[in-house]
């Protein structure tokens, strides 16, 4: 006999309670009733009301958060090293070497290298490149360029992921404003993280700020859960509707990394390398990324 699925019978709930006197599933060593029982009660109630909830295995415990922070220290150092050295005339290949050297010196592994065949240690995306630009000795940063450098680190099994924009030389007011508003979008996303609310609220807050400024938001590429692996569930949209998407429960770790286009939202992937994403209309695009953990009263930024 086959079990009925969501379309007919009872939906398959993912959260189940434990015996109250057994050691808690989180590994704290405490009894369940003194540890995660009330958390579980709340999440089970939400799931039964039809909300999308994270899997128990994806929730990060305090020791995991410390692990991600240690990874993020390296990731932040790599981006700081880039910030210190980046200049007009430098190749993106040199940026890649700065990232690799800083990361390895501190005992980390650059997560992009060999990720689904990606050939370099970080992504460098210039002007109309939206994301996933491949560093190269041939690509020389010019006066007036804006570039996103996206770094991700593996350390002691934990993943961190963040990116920043850099302005080179004399940047046009239009591009400067795009970079500033995109940073505001990320900050508004951070402010919109509230425990026990759906992710769609955060995505909508980001979207509205971009629209208000006359920009568009990339739909097909977004953020992700992060920490135990590079890209975890769920896909995080920045064009989502309030009241939709996964519940942001304490211990849920994800990235806020909207890609904002000065022109239209349409994008395409370079078919010569299958990686670099461009705006269809070749208008400039910007992105900032942080990795956050949902807390009891908002979120904490783990990597920036």
Q: Which residues bind ligand MF3 (CB under 6 A)?
A: 112, 115-116, 118, 123, 132, 150, 152, 161, 257, 289
Sheet of strand 223-225: strand arrangement: 232-236, 223-225, 253-256, 290-295, 298-303
Burial of 219 (0-12, 13-18, 19+ CB in 10 A): middle
Tell me which of ligand MF3, Co ion, none is bound by residue 13, counting a contact when its beta carbon lies within the kind-specific cut-off of 5 to 8 angstroms.
none
Q: Count other C-beta atoms under 10 Å from residue 133's C-beta.
A: 26
d(CA 46, CA 224): 21
Residues 118-137 close enough to bind Co ion by CB under 5 A: none
Q: Which residue is nearest to ligand MF3 (CB)?
A: 112
Q: Smallest distance from the beta carbon of 221 to ligand MF3, in angstroms? A: 8
Residue partners of 125: CB distance under 8 A and separation at least 6:
131, 132, 133, 147, 148, 150, 276, 277, 285, 287
In contact, 297 and 155? CB cutoff 8 Å = no
In the complex, minimum distance from the CB of residue 112 to ligand MF3, in angstroms, rounded to a whole number: 3
- The whole-angstrom separation of Cα 96 and Cα 98 is 5
Q: What distance in Å separates the CA atoms of residue 213 and residue 110, rounded to the nearest whole number?
A: 35
Please report how close the Cβ of residue 262 comes to ligand MF3 at its closest, in angstroms.
Answer: 21
Q: Please, which residues bridge with residue 232 across strands?
A: 225
Q: Report the nearest approach of ligand MF3 to the CB of residue 231 (Å).
A: 6
118 binds, among ligand MF3, Co ion, none (CB under 5 to 8 A by kind): ligand MF3
The whole-angstrom separation of Cα 176 and Cα 183 is 11
Nearer to Co ion, 145 or 161 (CB): 161
**Cβ 17 to ligand MF3 shortest distance, Å:** 34
Using the minimum distance from each CB to ligand MF3, give the nearer residue, 67 or 133. Answer: 133
- Judging by DSSP bridges, how do beta strands 146-155 and 123-126 pair with one another? antiparallel
DSSP state, 31? B
Comparison of 36 and 276: residue with beta carbon closer to ligand MF3: 276
Contact pattern from residue 230 through residue 269 relative to Co ion, giving x for each residue in contact according to CB under 5 A and a dash for the rest: -------------------------x--------------
Residue numbers 159-198 binding Co ion by CB under 5 A = 161
- Under rule CB under 5 A, which residues in 262-301 are in contact with Co ion? none
CB of 163 to Co ion, least distance (A): 7
Considering the complex, state which of residue 179 and residue 226 has its C-beta at the smaller distance from ligand MF3. 226
Contact footprint for Co ion (CB under 5 A): 161, 255
């Amino acid at each position: 006999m086959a079990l009925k699925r969501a379309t007919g019978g009872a939906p398959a709930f993912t959260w189940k309670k434990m015996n109250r006197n057994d050691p808690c599933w989180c590994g704290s060593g405490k009894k369940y009733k003194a540890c995660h029982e009330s958390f579980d009660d709340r999440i089970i109630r939400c799931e039964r009301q039809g909300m999308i909830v994270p899997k128990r295995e994806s929730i990060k415990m305090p020791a995991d958060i410390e692990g991600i922070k240690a990874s993020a220290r390296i990731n932040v150092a790599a981006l700081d090293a880039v910030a210190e050295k980046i200049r007009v005339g430098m190749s993106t290949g040199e940026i890649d070497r700065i990232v690799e050297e800083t990361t390895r010196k501190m005992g980390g592994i650059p997560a992009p290298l060999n990720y689904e065949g990606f050939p370099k240690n970080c992504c460098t995306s210039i002007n109309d490149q939206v994301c996933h630009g491949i560093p190269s000795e041939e690509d020389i940063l010019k006066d007036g360029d804006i570039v996103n450098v996206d770094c991700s680190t593996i350390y002691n099994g934990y993943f961190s992921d963040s990116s920043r924009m850099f302005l080179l030389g004399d940047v046009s007011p239009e591009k400067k404003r795009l970079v500033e508003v995109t940073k505001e979008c990320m900050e508004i996303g951070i402010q919109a993280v509230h425990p026990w609310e759906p992710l769609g609220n955060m995505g909508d807050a980001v979207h509205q700020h971009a629209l208000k400024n006359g920009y568009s938001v990339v739909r097909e590429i977004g953020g992700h859960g992060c920490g135990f692996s590079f890209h975890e569930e769920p896909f995080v949209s920045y064009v989502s509707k309030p009241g939709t998407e996964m519940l942001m429960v304490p211990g849920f770790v994800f990235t806020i990394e909207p890609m904002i286009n000065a022109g239209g939202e349409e994008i395409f992937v370079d078919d010569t390398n299958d990686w670099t994403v461009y705006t269809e209309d070749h208008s400039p695009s910007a992105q900032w990324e942080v990795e956050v953990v949902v807390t009891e009263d908002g979120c904490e930024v783990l990597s920036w």
